[in-house]
Amino acid sequence: MGIEARNLGASDKAKTHKGRKILDKRKALIKENPKRSVIMKGRKSSELLNTLLRELHAMRGSAMSQLLLKRSHDLAPMDDSSLVERILSKYDCSLFAVGNHQKKRPNNLVFGRTFDGHILDMFEFTVENYRGVTNFKAADFTHDLKPILVFQGDVFDVSDKHKRIKNLFIDFFRISDLSEVNIVELKRVLVFTCRGETAPIEVRHMEASDINENTVAK
C-alpha cells in the first residue's frame, strides 16, 4: 500500500536556508563527490588496532577522513548498523572502518560503505601479523602521494565475495580520482594478495624511492 507523503504533511521543499542546504546535499549528482570516511573504535580496542586505525586515517588524510579514537563507541556493525549509519550521516561520510577487540573476536576490523544513508555492504576481518610504519626504516608516508592498487590472485576476479571486497577496497584506498599524475609521485603501492577462496588476504604497503622517467622506462 502506498501513501503519498504530502497527504501526511511531509514536503520535499525546505522552508529555511539550512533546510535547503540539507536537501541540496541529498540530490543526485552528475559527478559524485570524493568519498569521505569515518575511522573509529568500537566498544573495546587494542593498541594494535588503534595504531592501524591511525595509519588508515593518515593514508586518507584529514580532509577525506574523520578519526574518532578519543572515546569508545558502543557499536557492533555486523549486529546492528543503525548507529554507524547515524555517525556517517553526521559527518557526511559514506565509508567507514571500525575496530573492535574482544576475547572471541580479537583485533576485529570492519570495513564498509553506505549508499543513500544506508549500509551498502561491509566485511569483517581479523587482523594478524600487523606491522606498522614504525616497524620499518622508512619515512612517514603522506596522503598527498596517491597509492597504486595491485590485486594479486584469480579469486578477486572469480569469487563474488572477493569481487565486492576488491571494489570496496578500491573505494576506500583510491581516495580521489586523478585526471593526470606526475611519474615522480607514483611511489606508493598497496598490494592485496589472496591465494584462494578461504585464504587470508595479505596487505602490503610499500614505497619506492628515486622513481623517475628513466627507471619507469626500464
pLDDT digits (tens, 9 = 90+) for 26-56: 554 444 567 899 999 999 999 999 999 999 9
pLDDT digits (tens, 9 = 90+) for 79-102: 889 999 999 999 999 999 999 999
* CATH number for the domain whose boundaries are 37-217: 3.40.50.10480
Give me the pLDDT at residue 25, please.
Answer: 55
pTM, entire model: 0.78
21 pLDDT exceeds 90?
Answer: no
Q: What is the mean pLDDT of residues 167-187?
A: 78
Higher-scoring residue by pLDDT: 17, 135: 135
Could you give the C-alpha distances from 210 to 10, 59, 181, 185, 207, in angstroms and in order? Answer: 60, 21, 16, 10, 10
Alpha-carbon span 62 to 76, nearest angstrom: 24
